[in-house]
Amino acid sequence: MKSNVTRRGLHRLIGEPSTMFLLFLCAGLMNGCASGPTYQVDYDQSFPFSAYRTYRWYDDDHVTRESQYRRYNSSDQRVRNTAAQELMQSGFREASAGKADFWVNYHVVKKQTQKISGQEKGMHGSVGAGTYGKSVSVGYSSGPTVKTYEDGTAILDVIDISTEKIVWRGVAEGRLKNKMTNSDKEQLTITVLHELLKEFPPR
């Protein structure tokens, strides 16, 4: 699976936690990419990330419609377990309420797209002229071909608890494919979170 990571330092990346819930969780982190996902990381260049030691999940401290939905979604625990391992390897630990430096939050969204190719139904012909005279080609088309596919976007946010501002964001984007096994979904979750969180904290 290809990894294309783009880093963009932002002088100020401001976002209230409430605005992030315009994006809703889908079953499984990206449910499998037909093509390798691309990755992009944005962060506040002036923020002192070196002071961070502990984190909490945003859902655990804020009861929202999305957080309630996640409690009944098996993919949520998969995401948490994988992210916890990645964060632990970077020296972070999960803390109790009121004792953490930053929140971690994520969203996964899907968008369906249709691609139409081919000619309209019926007879089709063309005439061409060459060195040896004219040629005529005639064909029949059963109609255009419509292919439906889904694009997926996974967003991982780090929110400073003291200011309640997003200070780091990782985004993974890719085309989704159907009929993923649980093992496939787990492996994809590991891959996406590893690629994003290896960029946190910024160095």
In this prediction, residue 140 carries a pLDDT of 52
pLDDT tens string 48-95:
999 999 999 999 999 888 888 888 888 899 999 999 999 999 999 999
**CA dist., res. 107 & res. 154, Å (int):** 6
Boundaries of every domain in the chain:
4-111+150-197
What is the arithmetic mean of pLDDT over 177-182? Answer: 72
Q: For 123-182, give the DSSP string.
A: EEEEEEEETTEEEEEEEEE---EEEEEEEEEEEEEEEETTTTEEEEEEEEEEEE-S---H
| CATH dotted code for 4-111+150-197 | 3.30.160
State pTM to two decimals. 0.69
Answer whether 5's CB lies under 8 Å from 41's CB. Answer: yes
Written as one letter, the residue type at 76 is D
Q: What is the pLDDT of residues 91-122, one digit of tens each?
A: 999 999 999 999 999 998 867 676 676 555 55
